[in-house]
Chain A
Amino acid sequence: MVRLPAVALWLALLAPEQPTLAADAPKERQPPLRWAADAEGGAPYICKDPKNPNLYVGFEVDLAAALEKELGRRIEFVQYDFKSLISGLQRGDFDLAMNGIEVTPDRVKAVRFTRPYYVYSLQLVVRTAETRIGSIEDCKRLGATVGTLEDTAAERLLDQEHISKKVYGNQVEPYVDLELGRVDGVLLDLPIASYLARPNPKLKFVGPAIAPGYYAIAFRKNQELLAAQFDAALDRLAQQGKLRQIYEHWHIWNKLQEQLANGEHVDDFLRESGRQWTFDRYFPLLLEGAAMTVWLTFSSMLLAMTLALPIALMRLYGPAPVRLLATVYVEFFRGIPVLLLLYFLYFGLPVIAETYALPVSLKLQPVLAAILGFGLNYAAYQAEIYRTGIASIPVGQWEAGASLGMTRLHIFHRIILPQAIRVILPPSTNDLVALFKDTSIVSIIAVEELTKEYQILAKSSLKYLEIGLVTALLYLLMSVPLGHLSRYLERRWGKGR
């Protein structure tokens, strides 16, 4: 009952597909395709028409109109948050996404891209008065901060080049902050720079166009047929010079666009670049990340331990106000997420310095901010471990020392602390291993430790599993010896009880 019609439907779909769509299908009866993009501050891609807020303008609006004509099918615009375009597409909220979406290896895995419709490059923009920065290398050398848009090729390039970055949710704000001096440069796609920065006399382009890439239209993987129609339509638009017309109208045409007519396919290009990430190419980068992880862990722990002992002693033996101070410290730093603390130290402090016109900029280097954040956070935990450890030594030991004429300091140093260390050691090494893995969250302030390195490499090479396993192995190679070290120390210090 069910099977027969199903098979019949399959056959009907398979055989006469092409001619049906091209010729016979009544164009008006097909439902319009839903096209998602983010029109918020989205010029020159798509934004509201200043003359008539009910309409949208932009080169992608013109491109959609040309495609509509070419395909004989209506395309309807849907407003959608830029960051969620890929997930929204996969959820089926709309049929296609076209919004300056850069073709990247990780996205190729997730969606079916059409052939490219624009070759973008990245353009560095600085203030007109700027003299030090002439290229992206200068930014790296000077430790300059560069603004960019979240989850774009530009952001990834800044990460790869270890350039300190400031990431924005839309493309207008970076240029505003650049003018105000909050960032030293802005790296974004050329169409954005052309539209938002070139007309601004306070800003200028510097350096060559960097790292060209493609914009393409994204479909769901199972929409092969529809995507193929768009491929063909885009090819025709390129051959006919329609694309050039549109881009020239928006002042974004350049020589790079000529390759669009050559019909190069993005997937091949990307698979080729993925193959180049061999073990001996990515492993040294992972090792670099691992070294950063170890450095972060031990520096933070050293800071935490140094802070924790005075805090514990203040809580145990200080006069009431000092005790209260130490308690507030512990409760505060134990009570806030370390992520929030890192954000505050890295992004918040400079804002405070600026707002109150402090004589220091408080712009911490990412690694310093990370060590400080973890150090302050773990000091709270360590202080509690120390406090309970020290308090667990019977008061009789203090009295025995006192009756021998020893001073309080001496009793603490020679009698109490050596015994307390045995109590303190196991939970402390536990903390160390926890910290070791916690460091993976510092990627949010652009520190490239092991996990961040993995993310970058995996996205660039598509070898999620292979590089993931190597990364996990590196973590284990480091954390297992830590566990052994702690057991060894417990045995060594545990003797005599």
Chain B
Amino acid sequence: MNADMQVAISHLTKRFGQRLVLDDVSLEIDAGQTVALIGPSGAGKSTLLRSINGLNTFDEGEIRVGSHTLLPNRSHHGCPGARQVRRLLGMIFQDFQLFPHLTAIENIMEAPRCVLGLSPADAHQRAMRLLDRVGLGDRAGAYPQELSGGQKQRVAIARAMAMEPRGLLCDEITSALDPELKGEVLAVLEDLKREGLTLILVTHEIGFARRAADRVVVLAEGRIVEDGPPGQVLDEPQMPRTQQFLSQMLI
């Protein structure tokens, strides 16, 4: 069960022109783990996350998610491998990317209906359950522009969850939110973690990483510089690059 959802990244290299964004990155994440990816901006955190979802191409290495493999230099549009990986791992974006022409509940129903072929009634039932779960049962008919940032992000999580993925990739999902709204989104994540979902988070929330993550991976200049439990990496960092980064975060 666990082995079929392992995420295994090996020797991943990605260049933007001359710039090396990911430099021979290898990382294995077991099912049910919550992993926080931290590091200075430009370290390649988001690129790594997007690569796992097939939204980026990469130049060398490979990514395996369960039994599916993403290979280098291949457009993932219409690639069945990428579609399978996306079924296993949903993605949440920093800027929500809700569909503005659809209501909250329609946003959630769209993919189950057209990808899974659910009946409107079943899709509606599933969407309502998820909205209740993220605490937005009363905002089902609201359009995205009528929702606060925190509410939008909770709808986006419900939308990803409607496809019943085994894990979520979260790309700085609280960065665009006011401090008082971050809590409601992080609470939803903790709830999902308890359910056993694999969570891979690119985040700047050091406090949340310490509390909720099983593992913290520090990325700098396209390489993994430190990898371990939060208590070790955040409180007793071994590498000077990690120490430097954390001291900047605390200022």
| A residues with CB within 8 A of B | 394, 396-397, 399-408, 410, 414-415, 418-419, 422, 495-497
Contact = CB atoms under 8 A, between A and B. Distances in A.
A414 B55 contact: no
B19 interface: no
Nearest to B142: A496
A284 to B, nearest CB: 46
B106 to A, nearest CB: 9
Given A396-B93, A399-B97, A406 B103 contact: no
A397 B100 CA distance: 10
B95 A403 contact: no
Nearest to B85: A405
Most buried by B among A394, A406, A418, A422: A406
A495 B142 CA distance: 11
Given A401-B111, A419-B100, 4 more contacts: A402-B82, A402-B86, A408-B77, A415-B99
A403 B55 contact: yes
Interface in B86-103: 86-87, 90-91, 93, 95, 97-103
B114 A397 contact: no
Given A399-B93, A497-B145, A405 B111 contact: yes
Q: Dominant SS at the A interface? A: helix
Nearest to A403: B91
A405 B83 contact: yes
A410 B102 CA distance: 15
A403 B143 CA distance: 21
Contact of A496 (B87, B102, B110, B115): B102
B179 interface: no
B126 to A, nearest CB: 14
A496 B95 contact: no
Contacts of B86: 402-405
A404 B102 contact: no
Contacts of B143: 495-497
A441 B159 CA distance: 53
Contacts of A397: 97, 99
Interface in B113-159: 114-115, 143-145, 159
B160 interface: yes
A158 B83 CA distance: 66
Contacts of A496: 100-103, 143-145
A80 B111 CA distance: 77
A418 B145 CA distance: 16
15 contacts: A396-B93, A400-B97, A400-B98, A402-B54, A403-B55, A403-B86, A403-B91, A404-B90, A404-B111, A405-B87, A406-B110, A406-B115, A410-B114, A419-B99, A497-B101
A396 B99 CA distance: 10
Given A404-B111, A408-B77, A497 B91 contact: no
A418 B101 contact: yes
Nearest to B53: A403
A403 B86 CA distance: 6
Interface string B54-82: 11000000000000000000001110001
Contact of A405 (B95, B100, B144, B163): B163
Nearest to B83: A405
B93 A404 contact: no
A239 to B, nearest CB: 86
B95 A396 contact: yes
Contact of A414 (B78, B91, B114, B163): B114
A410 B77 CA distance: 12
A410 B86 CA distance: 15
B100 to A, nearest CB: 5
Contacts of B102: 496
Contacts of A401: 111
Contacts of A396: 93, 95, 97
B97 A497 contact: no
A402 B102 CA distance: 17
B101 A404 contact: no
B101 A419 contact: yes
A406 B111 contact: yes
Closest 7 CB pairs of A and B: A400-B97, A403-B91, A404-B111, A496-B143, A396-B97, A405-B115, A405-B86
Contacts of A497: 100-101, 143, 145
Contacts of A399: 55, 91, 93, 97
Contacts of A405: 83, 86-87, 111, 115, 163
B116 to A, nearest CB: 8
A97 B103 CA distance: 76
Contacts of B159: 404
A403 B99 contact: no
A231 B83 CA distance: 93
A414 B102 CA distance: 10
A422 B100 CA distance: 12
Interface in B142-188: 143-145, 159-160, 163
Contacts of A394: 97
Contact of A408 (B55, B78, B93): B78
A496 B86 CA distance: 28
Contacts of B145: 496-497
B100 A406 contact: no
B54 to A, nearest CB: 8
Nearest to B108: A404
